[in-house]
Structure 1
């Protein structure tokens, strides 16, 4: 399979701002395409990054102090400065700067990311509320449909290109570590720097997030369908992950053309959502002042609020509209073991080796089967971001629904730094623990995770550790 080029450029190039259409322009020139671009320009941002050369091309450079500039594009998803982009745009960088359409720029920080699906949330602290991108749906895309791409192409800010949808449901493999599924294929020009930018329909609604081009090919670009992306964004904005708060709601996004709804599936017994009166089948229409069409909107409406704060949730139940009061709870009041704050935890882990003489680390003893989570080694560029108390950790990239990790509050994006008395820097460390002949004596199995700046510990009740 042909390789795919990830869209990060290392060139220093001048920038060129695109001017809005003149108020005096003849009406015949203000086409739907022009109106679509004007609708979203203010919610599209340019991202400039800097990283050390030894993180990017140390194989070819002897100057370890040299800096490399990268570029990408982002989409504003919240007025407070939350922006979605591709993970590969921000992966391993030392600094991030976001430039808005008015030319103002802000330093940014990575809030959360999903490397498997190549998405990340970054945050700036703007001087005023920002315009939010108009979200569409990828549920009703048509072959041959007109599309627009806006991005920081080769550093030329807010570059607009036009094309059509060439194909749907494309699977593209970049390398052994990165692949994409269900991509939109387009023939609009997608150049280095476009990564993370919006793919738009003629109405100026986002239908995808641009990700990659086929190396050496002309008029072949790809984008993540926005409906797929919004499900990942919901997890990245989850208030358990970012705020250590808890709502206890599970809901299903329903999107078919203009019919877009968030429907309650279930609520955890005794949870804030259950206490508020949310019920299966309710259609959530609003959280505080935010209109809701999917779980990403719901999480966004609760994000940044204090534990114990009450929020008005508007739901449609049959023909009746109800205003409910949802009082979110601090995670440490949830009936799980994960939310014990360990800011003062002492490093007490032993170093395990790859010696698995205590038992086979085969499929039956995989972290997925035993612990209910899939783990990935932290790349060198991210190890420096781990709490200095620890030498490294393993990123949680997937959690099995209702498995031990899920039941005890571990979520995607957490960093597992220890099991029982052993540190977990490599896959071999984890295999050593779960294949240990005395694993039953460790049950429940103590774990340590990093979530943001918090160190948490808890206990995994293993259903079958034989």
Structure 2
């Protein structure tokens, strides 16, 4: 008995000495727990989102009424790139007119949607900042444990940066919200998630995001759900795709590999003639770093190349057969291959600027080619998005443009888009401004287009609609729209000049 007492006393003394010599005790601050430190670290990367939109009946009204009602909303976002790119839930920004983003320090910015995925309920918005933002440390959802301590930070009921704590209650939950929205493989937590928390982070005690808060169980107490961060990051990578946003594909098919001990991006396939192949990347390589950004997954790869000028050369560090190598990657070079990575999933991604409902294009009413547009812009009606039909891939849409118009098209880079949108052009009824277009990379030699269109021109508008991207083009060239049409008016921008107008014959 005395031996047992001696051993117990010795253990107690050791524990007491350990506590007395811990940093927190030495500083006289036992209150600063790991959870407190994690909150202090992560909250700089959490933003509050406030939205406004007109009431549905006001939007459908023909004339503006000074008594139009505004509907306000709220949500939360997570900084994923220091240049102001933020991820949130799509339902937070769906159909809104105004997005206001407030940072931890209280500074507010106007936000604009970049891209979104309705099915997976995620969206990217961007704010214009003058100083780099703090990027949220990314954890992994691959090693989550039941009863593990987690906490949520968000704009709960409009109370900014509210912190709630709880545990992981369950994993792999499938939840159906209504007939149009369901989720798979969610994390269930009893950390209080309230209206306004949507789009915010669920974090572990290390301050790493392990989920994106998305839903609560109506009428229940402390039953909330979050999208696992590993699933979310795969969707975010598609939302940040440089091929979609910049028109500068890298030509890589990759896989995120994540566990408790490692996070890495493995190359599965390199498209022939692509920028990646020209760089020297091979299947099986592990991409470690691009222009100083550590690459943990596909999201990091896309954001490392996002908004880089064509022709810019960046350092790319990879690991091949256990040895590290540094290659030179040139942005925007090589062919624009159609790669097979997640084709169906990519079709769920929408680039926000491509279906902007206020987009405008000059109305056309002339009979000859190569004449400047003569009228003010008209409002464009984009295809309804509430009940999506079978969605063509971007490659299928571009192939249809080639067959019907004799034009091979691709998206503009940010630099090229800026050249088009940064100025106004003369019109009969006043200045005309364009919102973007599609670059013409090839013209069919035996087509009518070949008489006045050149490679390198930008297709600004077609059949009275703006051609900002594949979504617009898909709507314009839908079979039920053009089945009786034999020609279409178009607007073309040629570098350094004013827009030209012509007529394209449709090939059958």
Structural mapping, 1:24-423, within 5 Å: 26-54=28-56, 65-329=68-332, 334=336, 384-387=357-360, 390-393=380-383, 404=396, 416-418=471-473, 423=476
Residue 280 and residue 291 in structure 1: after superposition, are their counterparts in 2 closer, same or farther (change >3 A)? same
Residue 169 and residue 387 in structure 1: after superposition, are their counterparts in 2 closer, same or farther (change >3 A)? farther
Q: Report the Cα distance in structure 1 between the residues aligned to 2:148 and 2:174, rounded to whole angstroms.
A: 20
SS at match of 1:285: strand
Q: Report the Cα distance in structure 1 between the residues aligned to 2:78 and 2:350, rounded to whole angstroms.
A: 28
Structure 2: gaps (5+ residues) = 1-23, 362-377, 401-408, 412-467, 485-508
Higher RCO, Cα 8 Å, sep 6+: 1
Contact 2:114 / 2:351 at 8 angstroms: preserved in 1? no
Residue 27 and residue 190 in structure 1: after superposition, are their counterparts in 2 closer, same or farther (change >3 A)? same
Contact 1:52 / 1:64 at 8 angstroms: preserved in 2? no
Residue 55 and residue 286 in structure 1: after superposition, are their counterparts in 2 closer, same or farther (change >3 A)? farther
Contact 1:72 / 1:197 at 8 angstroms: preserved in 2? yes
Q: Deviations 1:23-45 (Å, cap 9, x if unpaired)? A: 99843111111011011010001
Deviation at 1:242, TM superposition (A): 1.2
The structure having more radius of gyration, on CA atoms, is: 2
Contact 1:244 / 1:330 at 8 angstroms: preserved in 2? no
SS at match of 1:47: strand
Residue 91 and residue 26 in structure 1: after superposition, are their counterparts in 2 closer, same or farther (change >3 A)? farther
Q: Report the Cα distance in structure 1 between the residues aligned to 2:389 and 2:233, rounded to whole angstroms.
A: 17
Structure 1: gaps (5+ residues) = 1-21, 337-367, 439-466
Q: Deviations 1:130-187 (Å, cap 9, x if unpaired)? A: 1100000011111111110000001111100011111111111112221111111111
Q: Deviations 1:61-86 (Å, cap 9, x if unpaired)? A: x9961112211100001111110001
Q: Report the Cα distance in structure 1 between the residues aligned to 2:472 and 2:137, rounded to whole angstroms.
A: 39
1:5 alignment partner in structure 2: none
Q: Deviations 1:361-390 (Å, cap 9, x if unpaired)? A: xxxxxxx99xx99689999xx762455564
Q: Report the Cα distance in structure 2 between the residues aligned to 1:271 and 1:407, rounded to whole angstroms.
A: 19
Contact 1:134 / 1:206 at 8 angstroms: preserved in 2? yes
Residue 54 and residue 177 in structure 1: after superposition, are their counterparts in 2 closer, same or farther (change >3 A)? same
SS at match of 1:27: coil
TM-score, normalisation: structure 1: 0.71
Contact 1:253 / 1:263 at 8 angstroms: preserved in 2? yes
Deviation at 1:252, TM superposition (A): 0.7
Residue 295 and residue 383 in structure 1: after superposition, are their counterparts in 2 closer, same or farther (change >3 A)? closer
Q: Report the Cα distance in structure 1 between the residues aligned to 2:326 and 2:27, rounded to whole angstroms.
A: 46
SS at match of 1:39: helix
Residue 276 and residue 56 in structure 1: after superposition, are their counterparts in 2 closer, same or farther (change >3 A)? farther
> Bigger CA drift: 261-270 or 321-330?
321-330
Deviation at 1:127, TM superposition (A): 2.3
Q: Report the Cα distance in structure 2 between the residues aligned to 1:295 and 1:397, rounded to whole angstroms.
A: 29
Residue 330 and residue 24 in structure 1: after superposition, are their counterparts in 2 closer, same or farther (change >3 A)? farther
Contact 1:399 / 1:405 at 8 angstroms: preserved in 2? no
